[in-house]
Structure 1
Amino acid sequence: MQHLGSLPLMAQPGEKWLYNHSGDVLGILIERVTGKSLGTFLRERIFEPLGMKDTAFNVPASQFYRMPTSYSFNHATNKLEVYDPAGRDSSWALPPPFESGAGGLVSTVDDYFAFLRMMLNKGRLGPKQILSRANVEMMTSDQLTPQQREGAEFFFGTHSSWGLGLGVCIHRGEVYQTPGRFGWDGGTGTSAYADPVEGLIGILMTQRLMDSPEPPRIFTDFWTQAYAAAE
């Protein structure tokens, strides 16, 4: 944080939206306020109450056998290459030196589904109120002005904006881009969104890294078919 604070601003506060760095700073502040590591805080306050037993910043050795290999595509050779190997050689085999508030968790479809069910239900899952209704409504609503989004078309295109920690759809350019739909596409090849209008949750996990913020064909096909099948 000292090094980050010594850098010149890319924009005045509130002028532009910037990806990622605020989440890292938030993770550090959580640790300082609670006196716990970020991983411990998340486990106690979010993961355990939701039954998310397979979500953490690393995978225990007893669970290595469940980890798949992750690939990236080399456009020069037109071939897939190993990005992160499975098992004990994975980047997630050991605790990270820095638990990032902006990313780095490893999880499963079941755990992600539990989290999105809680978010879709305004912070509650079963008898447990994990987040307040007001907080969830703020998190999943557009928090940016058009001026703040300028220059961020790389991430948002013309259909999305940003809530608090996740993307929010604001314009229907495709059948699956329902205004109010929230979630995010992960750079390692995942896509997960919840749609309050349709009452729909979709989670896609692949083993191939995204080549750019533009969603790959498998993402658009998945969501198009999901919405086509929705009643």
Structure 2
Amino acid sequence: MRLAFRIPAPAPLLCLSLIACLAGTVHADTWPQQEDGAEAAGFTEGGIEQLDSAMREIVANQDVAGMVWMLGKDGKIATYEAAGLARLDDQTPMTKDSLFRIYSMSKPVTAVAMMMLWEDGLWDFDDPISKYIPQFSNLQVLSSYDGDGNVELEDLQRQPTMRELMANTAGFAYGLFGDDPANAAFRDQGVLASSDLNELVEKVAGIPLMAQPGVQWYYSIGMDLQGYIVEQLTGMSFGEYLRQQLFEPLDMMDTRFYVLPEDRERFAEVHYWDRENESLAQQPHRTDRAGYLDPDRLESGGGGLVSSAHDYARFIQMLVNEGELDGARILAPESVRIIRTNSLTGDEDMRYGIGGPGQPGQGWSVNMAVLYDPQAAGSPQGPGTYYWAGAAGTSFWIDPVNDIFWLSMIQAQGPRRPGAANMGEVARDLIYQSLEK
């Protein structure tokens, strides 16, 4: 099993001391540290200067308080910059070492963990989820409901599969949106505020599915359930498995489910546009669940990780390299190709979208979205570009055709400045305009 025969990190990646490991300082000499330059990476110098200028303008206009951004191609870094503030209250500058709540960018990390265990033969895509979560053997499905609270349930026509769990077609709700009884139950029962994954699973087991398995795409709790499955398959906590099998081999020592006390000064805060004062304001911390300084907070595979630009870039480049980075083999190339392949059909109900007809040309692979038809989507990116983002604005995409990746790290949630730029589209268009022909 992989747990016994993992390839160790090369010597330069090994922790120099326990203190250095805990403080997240061991990546001082690992890629990426600085830019290789626009031309070395296959872009025009003027184009990258325009890209950097556009990102700084977004910060200057208070569309975001601060940002770290990175563009890579063919293993070279065209630009890696930081601008603005990580915290408004004490004017802490945003730096390349800043830490971010990456929220749903945790999902691709969970995908890699699951595929590692798939390679070990510990689960199969066509297995029923209940093989690993027996509490789900008798799930029920919403049949109908109305505004008066009348709800009808029906039995499962068949068990949802692991493939459907990873494709968001198993039928589970999430509680982030929707007024239906299933999503309302997620919120009422505080599923995402569970103390651990055992409690989360017990709560989900009592909430009906949104639809019969395989019928409809719903953005769901599925990736948190995968974290629980990792624990059942390995006998380790999800966070410990990630640390030993993924983060340490890749020198991602800033990435975990909580912020170490010594790293608190590096932790960027979330900001929103205060309409009354017409300026950015810092969001207060939530009090309904364990905070990011609590090492015992929920290890959420759907949205719980904290990371840095350095760490997530290493994760991205491992995927770009089809499973390997700096001598550490994480996945086989076949597994990476599975991760980035659209798993949905072309039907409207199965296309990527939340409760609607979806977005043309965009599908869902394993725990993230994939652009299968750029022309239909109106994008200059290559077919098969895969991507995802976090609730506080962190985002990335990988274009395997052109061997390009983009990573932007911000902390913004809630109201935005009127007329604020669409940062993702601005960056994307400038990047492709900057490619050397």
Q: Same fold (TM over 0.5)?
A: yes
> Secondary structure at 2:388's aligned position in 1?
strand
Cα pair distance change 1:52/1:5, threshold 3 Å:
same
Deviation at 1:188, TM superposition (A): 0.5
CA contact (8 A) 1:71 1:84 kept: no
Amino acid at match of 1:82: Q
CA contact (8 A) 1:166 1:184 kept: yes
Give 1:6-45 correspondences, 5 Å limit.
6-45=206-245
Tell me whether 1:161 sits opposite 2:358 in the alignment: no
Tell me whether 1:149 sits opposite 2:351 in the alignment: yes
Aligned to 1:69: 269
Structure 2 counterpart of 1:197, from 376, 394, 401:
401
CA contact (8 A) 2:352 2:362 kept: no
Cα pair distance change 1:216/1:159, threshold 3 Å:
farther
Aligned to 1:219: 424
Aligned to 2:8: none
What per-residue deviation string (whole Å, max 9, x for no partner) do you get for residues 22-77 of structure 1? 11111111112211111111111111111111111111111111112211235576
Deviation at 1:216, TM superposition (A): 5.9
CA contact (8 A) 1:73 1:79 kept: yes
Structure scoring higher RCO (CA < 8 A, sep ≥ 6) equals 2
Deviation at 1:6, TM superposition (A): 2.1
Aligned to 2:31: none
Deviation at 1:149, TM superposition (A): 2.1
Give 1:49-198 correspondences, 5 Å limit.
49-74=249-274, 79-83=279-283, 91-147=291-347, 148-149=350-351, 152=354, 157-172=359-374, 173-198=377-402
What TM-score do the two structures reach when normalised by structure 2? 0.48
CA contact (8 A) 2:361 2:372 kept: yes
**Equivalent pairs, count:** 225
CA contact (8 A) 2:257 2:297 kept: no
Which runs of at least 4 in structure 1 moved beyond 4 Å after TM superposition? Answer: 74-79, 153-156
What TM-score do the two structures reach when normalised by structure 1? 0.87
Cα pair distance change 1:150/1:209, threshold 3 Å:
closer
Q: Using the alignment, how far apart are the partners of 1:188 and 1:150 within structure 2?
A: 21
CA contact (8 A) 1:187 1:210 kept: no
Q: Using the alignment, how far apart are the partners of 1:150 and 1:27 within structure 2?
A: 23
Stretches of structure 2 lacking an aligned partner (at least 5 in a row): 1-200
Q: Using the alignment, how far apart are the partners of 2:353 and 2:261 within structure 1?
A: 43
Deviation at 1:118, TM superposition (A): 0.7
Q: Using the alignment, how far apart are the partners of 1:76 and 1:159 within structure 2?
A: 39
Stretches of structure 1 lacking an aligned partner (at least 5 in a row): none
Q: Using the alignment, how far apart are the partners of 1:140 and 1:60 within structure 2?
A: 32
CA contact (8 A) 2:396 2:406 kept: yes
Deviation at 1:20, TM superposition (A): 3.1
Amino acid at match of 2:402: E
Amino acid at match of 2:404: L
> Secondary structure at 2:257's aligned position in 1?
coil
Q: Using the alignment, how far apart are the partners of 1:13 and 1:119 within structure 2?
A: 29
> Secondary structure at 1:40's aligned position in 2?
helix
What per-residue deviation string (whole Å, max 9, x for no partner) do you get for residues 81-132 of structure 1? 32256xxxx9322225311111111111111110111111111113221012
Aligned Cα root-mean-square deviation (Å): 2.5
